[in-house]
Chains A and B, each alone.
Chain A
């Protein structure tokens, strides 16, 4: 039974493709998160909860 249930997973190439796909996505996220281009943006984003109470008075 186990073999039959497993048969869907016996195409070696599918596991390899899945593995590569997951790695690419993961590395992509790391690259995006840690690329210098986005640094300034992230710093501004992390201030979001703190800035909310800043009161702007209309002039």
Chain B
């Protein structure tokens, strides 16, 4: 018969090599990310594991862990899933092989760069956006490569309609680009240092608009896309309700972008922004659970698969954890709940319920599905996969429950006020030592999770080893039917056929919330109370501040006293917007493993800080803070201060031209004065005075710490 009668046939060979590469990268980086996390967990349980080595302290290890988990493990998993499923859903090989491999190697290079620079202390201190400006530029370039490759494939696709998974991928690519670029607007002051153009409250709002939506558009939407593809694939059943998925997608994309301010509840952020964040966070509950139900009910009538197929176990439990996390998230966004939970380990538990339970298990389920498919070989051991499931599951539960208990315990201890109106636990360290046993439980949970992951590595390794030697290439022969099927002429049907219009609409959905939230904050300095203005940091204080940022102090110390009675009782007057108006980057923090430092200035003598930084246990019994002995013999970088101050001046900080021109000299003079005073205190206490003390980092850091909360013009 003639070709015309039967249509033409498509001979397409999908590019699975790059998918394999991403799969292997996911496994490798996953193991590293989890192991670094375990080290960080153990450091909190047992402080000597900081080893007194600057590049191994918690403040530098923790950002390494979060970045590796999010961008290396989850990132590569997303790319593997997107490259694998998109080619099949669009019936088209990836647009360009060169772009695919540029994407792969570019991303791995970025990860290596992060793994080197973060332990060395090159950081912007903005959570999950710590990487410095050259790496930020590289991320942007590689993301554009990914976008061109993906949209190129979309435009050349042979399937007219875009399945729901594709919509989630589109929104991911667009939104992550917007988030990354806006939050990374920074001015370099050195090869690996920069200051954000945003200051104080602006920086805080932009950062948590980014931070929350990194969760939304890096850890949620792409994984939902994977869910909508791999659960039907693994169970052989279509998604429960395609209609629900439409509502799920648009509601989620529209609402998620507004929720960022819930990270800043009860802070100096204006109330309207807090309320907005809280309301939209509560609204998120509905689409999130719509999506969860859609995933779970896909198994309706086939629940036996949950018992027998380990892949299904992982995928379905992942979706359940998604449901739990997205129930807990809105709960934590209620102002009164946040006043208990914020800054505690409850948040760490919440995050790991999502990261290990949802992202981790979904990725693992996907890997168990993909490796046998890609290497054309049955899984080595189903039994081992089941053991992996139960080991990992126990690990996540231990993690979650211990951090829940730790967070609520500590939160209640912070709040406890006796009948005389005094704090029941005035010593912060008491509230820390109380929960250290739970840190051991958490580390055990993490260890179990890693043990399970190693079982998977062994299992997949054996599978790959036994795979046929000649490379398996999936060869698909299908009729080309770009316009067959049901008519395309109305509503969403038409929309699903139009990549550009669809993408623009998705962009608009996220842009509306972003603009309404961020725009008023940009002009907030106009409203600052002149009576409450503060003076900017002196050159030496700024040098000390840069050391504070470099050492990652923000990982455990906030600088934001909330408008809550127990916060004010413990740390002093609540923080104001004005107090951080020149802070680049802002240091409000998100966790209090140690006390708030917003008003620590003048609270202790210089000598106290000097001895405390050398060995915190000498001053605070039971402290779990790492020691920082190197601050006494590493020199402060005075030379770069002129450059830094000219950038600050350009960004609108009211420094005089003289201050900028002589920044280094002014700093050295202040250092000399401080070092002299400190030397006398050391001599009086009978301690040894380090040589050239005035040049050392400890002096700059003390200058900064002593100025915290002391900069008000009309105190």
Contacts and interface: CB of A to CB of B under 8 A. Distances in A.
B486 A44 contact: yes
Given A1-B528, A1-B529, A50-B232, A33 B243 contact: yes
A59 to B, nearest CB: 6
Given A4-B527, A44-B486, A59-B1, A34 B243 contact: yes
Contacts of A53: 476
B232 A58 contact: no
A57 B486 CA distance: 23
Interface in B232-275: 232-233, 236-239, 242-244, 246-247, 250-251, 270-272
Interface residues of B, number: 47
Interface string B479-495: 10000011000111100
A56 interface: yes
Interface string B509-520: 000000000001
Contact of A45 (B88, B91, B161, B490): B161
Contact of A55 (B239, B477, B527): B477
A37 B487 CA distance: 11
B226 to A, nearest CB: 11
A41 interface: yes
A9, A42, A50: which has the most chain B beta carbons within 10 Å?
A: A42
Nearest to B493: A41
A16 interface: no
A38 B243 CA distance: 9
A2 B527 CA distance: 8
Interface in A1-50: 1-2, 4-6, 8-9, 26, 29-30, 32-34, 37-38, 40-50
Given A1-B528, A4-B527, A5-B270, A48 B89 contact: yes
B419 to A, nearest CB: 34
Nearest to A30: B247
A18 to B, nearest CB: 9
Contact of B492 (A5, A9, A32, A43): A32
Given A44-B486, A52-B88, A56-B477, A9 B272 contact: yes
A4 B525 CA distance: 11
Interface string B81-93: 0000100110100
Contacts of A26: 251
B434 interface: no
B493 A38 contact: yes
Contacts of A55: 476-478
B246 A59 contact: no
Contacts of A4: 526-527
Contacts of A52: 88-89, 91, 476
B163 A33 contact: no
Contacts of B239: 46
Interface in B354-395: none
Contacts of B524: 1, 5
B461 interface: no
A49 B233 contact: yes
B477 A5 contact: no
Contacts of A57: 477
Contacts of B246: 29, 32-33
A59 B486 contact: no
Contact of A56 (B9, B165, B237, B242): B9
Given A48-B89, A52-B91, A58 B247 contact: no
B232, B236, B496, B577: which has the most chain A beta carbons within 10 Å?
A: B232
Nearest to B5: A59
Contacts of B127: none
B159 interface: yes
A5 B189 CA distance: 32
B300 interface: no
B272 A2 contact: yes
A2 B271 contact: yes
B482 to A, nearest CB: 14
Contacts of B236: 50
Interface in B384-436: none
A32 B495 CA distance: 12
B271 A44 contact: no
Contact of A49 (B6, B163, B526): B163
B229 interface: yes
B159 A5 contact: no
A7 B568 CA distance: 30
A1 B527 contact: yes
Contact of B242 (A9, A32, A46, A58): A46
Interface in B279-325: none
Nearest to A47: B238
Contact of A44 (B485, B492, B520): B485
A2 B238 CA distance: 50
Given A48-B161, A49-B163, A52-B91, A29 B527 contact: no
B1 A48 contact: no
B121 to A, nearest CB: 36
Given A29-B250, A32-B491, A33-B492, A48 B477 contact: no
A26 to B, nearest CB: 8
A46 B85 CA distance: 14
Contacts of B577: 1
Given A6-B270, A33-B492, 4 more contacts: A5-B520, A8-B520, A52-B89, A55-B476
28 contacts: A1-B528, A1-B529, A1-B577, A4-B526, A5-B270, A5-B272, A5-B527, A6-B270, A9-B272, A29-B250, A37-B490, A38-B243, A38-B493, A41-B493, A44-B486, A46-B238, A48-B89, A48-B161, A49-B88, A49-B163, A49-B232, A50-B236, A50-B237, A55-B478, A56-B9, A56-B477, A58-B6, A59-B6
The 9 A-B pairs at the shortest CB distance, nearest first, are namely A1-B527, A46-B238, A33-B243, A42-B242, A46-B242, A41-B486, A48-B163, A33-B246, A58-B9
Interface of A: 1-2, 4-6, 8-9, 26, 29-30, 32-34, 37-38, 40-50, 52-59
